[in-house]
Amino acid sequence: MIVKWQRAILALLKERKDHSIALAIDTSTRPSRPVLIQNIVKLFEKVRPDTLLVQADFKIRDVSPVGVATIKYFKHGKSSYTEVLEWAAEQKIDTLFYITDVTGYFYEELQVDYEVFWLVPDDYMPRVPFGKPIRVA
């Protein structure tokens, strides 16, 4: 059964078939729903196997193709989006999907001139600094 958030992500991926896409995961804490995160990764792997998976907390820990990555979570709770957002700009990523609870920080001066979709795996939907939030809970 496909749920609303899966339909939304599928539509976004299909509409952006000619875009460079990356999927980032906030690994600063173990998520309450790790299976949900894994399902999101599998969705990207099936629909866009060329997606790069970025694992980051306060720094980038790993960048690898979405189908080969093993996700490793940390327990310190410190999260910064700056390095991932700068990496996406340097790599000329057109659309960045970021799985996070949106409690991290970034440099206010940072210029983000590409699409960002915040995939929030929580029932609570915080205000996002820019881009568009999608609740995936």
Q: What is the mean pLDDT of each run of 10 residues along the chain (137 residues)?
A: 84 95 93 87 94 95 92 85 96 97 84 95 85 91
Is 132 exposed, middle or buried, given 0-12, 13-18 or 19+ CB atoms closer than 10 A?
A: exposed
45 three-state secondary structure: helix
Domain ranges for the chain: 4-9+19-116
**Rounded CA separation 101/21 (Å):** 20
One-letter identity of residue 38:
Q
pTM, full prediction: 0.93
Nearest CA-CA partner of 116 in 15, 7, 23: 23
pLDDT score at 39: 92
